[in-house]
Structure 1
């Protein structure tokens, strides 16, 4: 039996793209055919390293002439929307690195285009919710007799902040490119909250702004009818705090709200049970496998159910992040609400 591989094109050649391609190779369900970069030499080097057969430095040519059916978009955040539009217009499935889009208006436009082009599939690459360990959290959460909220922490010092301290403005810390902590590591904590608890009734965001105008770190409080969920994230400091979901006397302890490498259930008597400790060879492999499953057979009832769920989650996460930004009066350069 001949297995039909998903022909993949990529936009962006940074470290996250390489990690995604490494996961693609492990899955053995994709074939990287096409690389886009603004710089010819960069595109060529990435293509040679990873076995792609063609490169482009012009986006119009990339989408109209490239021999791929699915595109992975890992450009700076502010460029995602325009490139996603082009992908849908050319009938390409799209996997957009988180955060997919910056405003609700952009998300609404993409939803409309997807409805008008039902053959096109859209995925937001939020890897944490696709892992076995996250599914273990979901299962155990459903077994708690009482839920009294949660705290999710994901803080990792970015080497790019060294450049900010030197007076530069890298993309991830730039309002021009829709950067900042909420738009990066914060997305994982928002996905945790929305996937596990749904949309909150009220929100507040307390950012710590840095010289470039973006939030280097911040705390968001999500109010639900019977409890609060607190999100802590940072790109300008490190944290080794665990994340926790509170029952009555029991709780679920998570080593890291973004990576989720270890999940422990602690009962009323402080007995500890490991319920999730699967560490994937590549942290992006579970999402890569999930996306391939749906692309290969989108009409399968379970695949359709999963796809619709992921799409709705993406819409909710987009709305929540946008609302948090607006509450903190953080606007990006050229942003149209």
Structure 2
């Protein structure tokens, strides 16, 4: 069944997802929600001229769409996802999905009241073949000594911050910052590969507005630590590594997963990855469509994905709290 797709947000990542969805031939862009008709129409004209543009959220959600892709500022995800679930529309929400476990609990309870609705968090790297290669290789390693996962990339909005402006992606008011944006990639990878940590600590480099511009997070497991390095105010070309004893997995970029190499520690190394897809969102778009179209057969996999998303949300919140970073929606700030 071709799914009628609606989008919230008209930025580059929304365009990438729509193009990926169209490549799967599982979706048809049917509706675009935007604050202005002009911006929404320009987006629709580029990707699907037949799509209808809406500036009213309720009208948009009741226009016949079956799935909505939400890529608005983080602080808007919660209310927009709530509205979509109440309208019995499946939800794909970009990371980080929600601000804290309290918001996630509300969403989870709402999902129980609308059992036909599926909610996904867009962790695109987890669905790429090269991530599965990493998972398979870890299973073959006799011991894990630790890992360092890196994703530090200069933000296109950091110049605005340096000029004295307050871009959404770098403010606590919009539930944003380095951890909530780029840090989600290595954190998702760590929890998918190693499970929930016993403890977590975040050492943040804060901006003048109190948001985190970069930072180091440490996840403590029974017999090893995982270090996450991420930021939005500089470019890092450091590889990520997963350490065995003598053997090591080297990853060029934990978010993009272009090349993965296994070194056995005996002088042999081999590339175990395949070429990365041109559009890194195709695999996740296909996976989401499969689950929506086959709800009964896919329920165990879907429930595992939803649990992982909740776990990431929990650890994200604990990391923020350990660094003294609060969002307006956090319970103790209300």
Q: Under TM normalisation by the shorter chain, which class is it?
A: over 0.9
Superposition pairs for residues 122-271 of structure 1, below 5 Å?
Answer: 122-271=119-268
Aligned match of 2:318: 323
* Per-residue Cα deviation, 1:72-97 (whole angstroms, up to 9, x for no partner): 00000000000000011000000000
1:336 and 2:331 correspond: yes
* RMSD across aligned positions (CA): 1.0
Aligned match of 2:293: 296
Q: Distance in 2 between the 1:246 and 1:268 partners?
A: 11
Q: TM (normalized to structure 1)? A: 0.96
Q: For residue 332 of structure 1, report the CA deviation from its aligned partner.
A: 1.6
Q: For residue 70 of structure 1, report the CA deviation from its aligned partner.
A: 0.4
* Per-residue Cα deviation, 1:271-298 (whole angstroms, up to 9, x for no partner): 1111113310201111111111111111
Instruction: Decide whether the 8 Å contact of 1:132 with 1:278 is kept in 2.
Output: no
Aligned residues: 331
Aligned match of 1:20: 17
Q: TM (normalized to structure 2)? A: 0.97
Q: Distance in 2 between the 1:212 and 1:329 partners?
A: 13
Runs of 4+ in 1 over 3 A off after TM superposition: none
* Per-residue Cα deviation, 1:166-216 (whole angstroms, up to 9, x for no partner): 010111011111110000110001001000000000111000011222101
Unaligned residue ranges in structure 2 (runs of 5+):
none
Q: Distance in 2 between the 1:236 and 1:270 partners?
A: 37
Partner SS, residue 276 of structure 1: coil
Aligned match of 2:58: 60
Among 309, 317, 323, the alignment partner of 1:314 is 309
Among 57, 74, 77, the alignment partner of 2:74 is 77
